[in-house]
Structure 1
Amino acid sequence: MTQSEFPSGVNGGMPVGLARVFDVVAVLAGLGLVYLFDGPVYMPVKELVLWGVIAALLMVYLSEIFSLYRSWRLAPFSEVVLVTLLVWVSVTILLVLGLYFLKLGENFGRIGFAYWCTIVAVLLVSWRWACRQYLTRQRAQGKNTKTALVVGATSLGIQLAEALERQPGLGVRVQGFYDDRERHRLDPMVQTKVMGDVDDAIELAARGGIDQIFVALPLKAEDRISAILQRCANTTSQVHIVPNFFVYNLVNAAWCDVGGMRTLSVYESPIRGPWGALKRAEDLTIASVALLVFAIPMLLIAAGIRLESRGPVLFKQVRYGVDGRRIEVWKFRSMTCVENGTTIKQATRNDSRITRIGAFIRRTSLDELPQFINVLQGRMSVVGPRPHAVAHNEQYRALIQGYMLRHKVKPGITGWAQVNGWRGETDTLDKMAKRVEHDMHYITHWSVVLDIQILFLTLRKGFVHDNAY
């Protein structure tokens, strides 16, 4: 199987025509399954087939508009899923409007329509996943690959080549490095891999022997990069600039448009747009179920706190939320005092301020249950970095580099740091640094799957921990 057998298309390998056929089949097959096995569809078969064909044509048409049939070789699969579902949701909205204005909605049936939409969504994502898995295996075996060269025998170029080598499933094979500098000035690791100078690289690409060119020069070499890009314009190769932004420890960097000018937002939340809506739906669902399950235990805890000591049942502490905005975080009061000032002493083992029932609910993390109300309010998320007191934030932001980047997402009831053992008292700077390190891992790698993994680990490991006191 050569590259010519798989022209650029969906998943960076399947022909666009075949992708369109699979989408049409998915739409019609989903409708057929609903009609055969469910029954809440009251349209005549001819009319039903007509709507199926309309939906399939809309799917293909909108896929072109949303560029769904482009190459996804170097894109994460989550992005493929997002665009696919966005197209299908757009199709269903147009269908709903059509059925409503033509007064045919009752003939179709709401349940049947919901089943159809769900089944087709699953089929559209499933065939793309299967295709991606197949192509990944083929590329790992050296089939359906693209040739590439790296202009710039720099440490950045070496990292890029090593990354592509570690992921053979991408199907990008680096042929060598090209650099104008004399060999003795180059990194010893690539001296033997340098195939020539920039002129040789451009000539090779112009002959059509290279699919992709990666320009891996430092940003300060602006003139050299500009000259190389102008010469690459005379080739048919796909050209990538590999900027050395990694030195700035970027967090979910994203391109933005400011008055028609392209800018790079270097510290960006991964939970925005449709992902933000998905995260919010996740929070509302889990928080609602949790409050129903824990309603009676929460009433019993509240009664116990009221009977044991004077003071409010709930302790409302001001903490930083998303983007550093101050929020009130609710907890069951577990101490005889309610510190909320500029100086706050963390709870320690055998702390005299902790009440008897407070010791129990802190050890079992039941004091955190009111935070599910915070989740419903939109102040917190079920999963995310744990919120720290404002006083602690002001203390540690001056001691730990990048500490405030934790606030790029909503604080959570449980998080990646907590399930990895970094919870409770942070009596040393190293402990807080480890917690922040795990929080940053969560923000950088966030996904719904990671949230589910953290929830599962929270339940499996239990709510009791040696550091919780």
Structure 2
Amino acid sequence: MRDLIITNSSRLELSMRLMDVLVLELAGGIAGLIHFHIPLADTPPIHTVLLHFCSALAFLLFPKFELYTSWRGRSLPDMFMRMGAAWGVVLLIGLFFSFLVHHVGNVSRLWMFYWYACGMTSLIAFRFAVYYVLRYLRTKGLNNKRVVIVGYGSTGREMHRRALQQDWTGYDVKAVCADPEDADKILDSSIARINSTEQIHQFVVANHIHEIWITLPLMASPRLQELQYQLRNTLVDIRWVPDILGLQMLGNKMGNFLGLPVVDLNQPISSGVNGIVKDLFDRTFAIVALFLLMPLFIVIAILIKRSSPGPVLFRQPRLGLNGREFNVYKFRSMKIHQEQNVVTQATKHDPRITPIGAFLRRTSLDELPQFINVVLGDMSVVGPRPHALQHNEMYKDLLETYMLRHRVKPGITGWAQIHGHRGETDTVDKMARRVEFDLHYIQHWSLWMDVRIIIWTAFKGWTGKNAY
């Protein structure tokens, strides 16, 4: 009973294909009533011909778009996108068919549009119904797939955890094959231990296993080749989930390079088209901000000149995108002084800070000229804060992921700053926490995230107990 659906998967697929044909036939009839207000049979015959032709074509072409493969554990939006593309291709072929039979002028394009919309709505509703019925059955222990996990590192344990928590996906981990030190981390006594990879095939056959998940690390290439040979006669689904959770990455997008599949390990999300959108947003926002803040800039400039001799703006070299050096602009908050190849961070009650400078630093108003850097393309409105060059040299060897911050443009404000990580970083732990927040921002960037950070900064992010 538990394997009833799995053992009859071919019959289930055939049933779903026939149901899709029925759904599309009914959707075409409904579209005819919506558009023509009469049964489709009373319209020009080409519509009825197209109805049956496209429905039959869907029966043949939909499998080519993998609409009937097992979708457990996969994204529903992806399936619906495939379905929309498949149904669109079918209707385009139908329109071309009507052109070949010289009846294209008699076909109502609006009816075809209604048919596409009604068909997609009906197909999605049918898929939802099937999906949630199967999901319910899996939570009851029916239609489950038995799994063996090979490797029990961080990724193997995470896959096991997700299989347990997401019981609606219907994966039941029966055994683990791992090194002794990893096998000791298996807490469930009901999970069988397979001591060597040579025993996997025998266990799979004896226990009617449906899938094998290989979660060995990327550097285990020789073991993977050996395992592939040992499992050559094992006729079940085998998935390789590379153990990459231990790698500090900015992204893991799959791509194609020189005709071969590649994985981008440190490509930020805010690159490519997203990067163009972010850059346009940054420069537009900065130009508007500079225009609106001009009166404030004039007042601050007068106060700085009255407080102590020296320029209004202070420039200091920083590392920008991909380590390119640029000069960051700030309102001068200190008296003119010389530093001998060492940047000394400002501390509480620092005598170098002028009275107006203390106010500017406490409220972060000294950072406002960096909108000029944004217009010039050196910075973003939101991003990791740029640090002094000497600090980069110091922390790049102390924190292994420190330099990943420079894979994006630095920002005037950032995810770390609105969470309180501002001001002096006098310990490695403080810098580590700031870097952790910076990498979270880079890995999870979105334009909406930038907007949220800007709003948060405007209302509560300008001051802080560590800003001096």
Question: So what's the TM-score if we normalise by structure 2?
Answer: 0.65
Query: Deviation at 1:419?
Result: 1.5
Larger Rg: 2
The superposition leaves residues 299-339 of structure 1 with CA deviations (integer Å, 9 ceiling, x where unpaired) of 32223223433322221211011111111211112222276
Query: Deviation at 1:375?
Result: 1.8
Query: Deviation at 1:72?
Result: 7.9
Distance change in 2, residues 1:252/1:68 (3 Å): farther
Distance change in 2, residues 1:141/1:458 (3 Å): farther
How far apart in 2 are the matches of 1:402 and 1:296?
Answer: 41
The superposition leaves residues 366-392 of structure 1 with CA deviations (integer Å, 9 ceiling, x where unpaired) of 111111222222211122111001122
What residue in structure 1 maps to residue 332 of structure 2? Answer: 333
How far apart in 2 are the matches of 1:340 and 1:279?
Answer: 36
Moved more, 409-418 or 186-195: 186-195
* Mapping 1:7-86, distance limit 5 Å: none
What's the C-alpha RMSD, in Å, of the aligned pairs?
A: 5.3
Amino acid at match of 2:177: D
Gaps (5+ residues) in structure 1?
Answer: 9-13, 33-59, 88-119
Query: Deviation at 1:229?
Result: 3.3
How far apart in 2 are the matches of 1:223 and 1:208?
Answer: 27
Moved more, 246-255 or 390-399: 246-255
What residue in structure 2 maps to residue 242 of structure 1? Answer: 241
What residue in structure 2 maps to residue 267 of structure 1? Answer: 266
Structure 2 contact 383–415 (Cα < 8 Å) conserved: yes
What residue in structure 1 maps to residue 184 of structure 2? Answer: 187
* Mapping 1:148-167, distance limit 5 Å: 149-152=147-150, 154-156=152-154, 158-165=156-163, 167=165
Question: So what's the TM-score if we normalise by structure 1?
Answer: 0.65
Q: Equivalent of 1:147, from 142, 145, 162?
A: 145
What residue in structure 1 maps to residue 54 of structure 2? Answer: none
How far apart in 2 are the matches of 1:329 and 1:67?
Answer: 52
What residue in structure 1 maps to residue 381 of structure 2? Answer: 382
The superposition leaves residues 395-449 of structure 1 with CA deviations (integer Å, 9 ceiling, x where unpaired) of 2223333221211221111112211211111222322222222222222333334
Distance change in 2, residues 1:442/1:180 (3 Å): closer
The superposition leaves residues 74-100 of structure 1 with CA deviations (integer Å, 9 ceiling, x where unpaired) of 5789x969x99xx9xxxxxxxxxxxxx
What residue in structure 2 maps to residue 404 of structure 1? Answer: 403
* Mapping 1:427-438, distance limit 5 Å: 427-438=426-437
Distance change in 2, residues 1:349/1:260 (3 Å): same
How far apart in 1 are the matches of 2:199 and 2:399?
Answer: 47
Query: Deviation at 1:242?
Result: 2.7
How far apart in 1 are the matches of 2:290 and 2:70?
Answer: 45
How far apart in 1 are the matches of 2:407 and 2:290?
Answer: 26
How far apart in 1 are the matches of 2:182 and 2:315?
Answer: 62
Amino acid at match of 1:411: P
Structure 2 contact 155–245 (Cα < 8 Å) conserved: no
Amino acid at match of 1:171: T
* Mapping 1:193-232, distance limit 5 Å: 193-194=191-192, 202=201, 212-218=211-217, 222-229=221-228
Structure 1 contact 151–198 (Cα < 8 Å) conserved: no
Identity of aligned residues (%): 37
Number of positions where the alignment pairs a residue of Structure 1 with one of Structure 2: 398
Distance change in 2, residues 1:167/1:271 (3 Å): farther
What residue in structure 1 maps to residue 345 of structure 2? Answer: 346
Equivalent residue of 1:151, what SS? strand
How far apart in 1 are the matches of 2:75 and 2:284?
Answer: 27
What residue in structure 2 maps to residue 297 of structure 1? Answer: 296
Gaps (5+ residues) in structure 2?
Answer: 11-15, 35-57, 86-116
What residue in structure 1 maps to residue 100 of structure 2? Answer: none
How far apart in 2 are the matches of 1:286 and 1:147?
Answer: 52
How far apart in 1 are the matches of 2:160 and 2:465?
Answer: 42
Query: Deviation at 1:234?
Result: 6.1
Amino acid at match of 2:281: E
Amino acid at match of 1:357: I
Distance change in 2, residues 1:241/1:338 (3 Å): farther
Equivalent residue of 2:322, what SS? helix
Equivalent residue of 1:392, what SS? helix
Q: Does 1:395 align with 2:390?
A: no
Structure 1 contact 211–238 (Cα < 8 Å) conserved: yes
Moved more, 294-303 or 138-147: 138-147
The superposition leaves residues 335-386 of structure 1 with CA deviations (integer Å, 9 ceiling, x where unpaired) of 2227687321111122222222222211111111111222222211122111
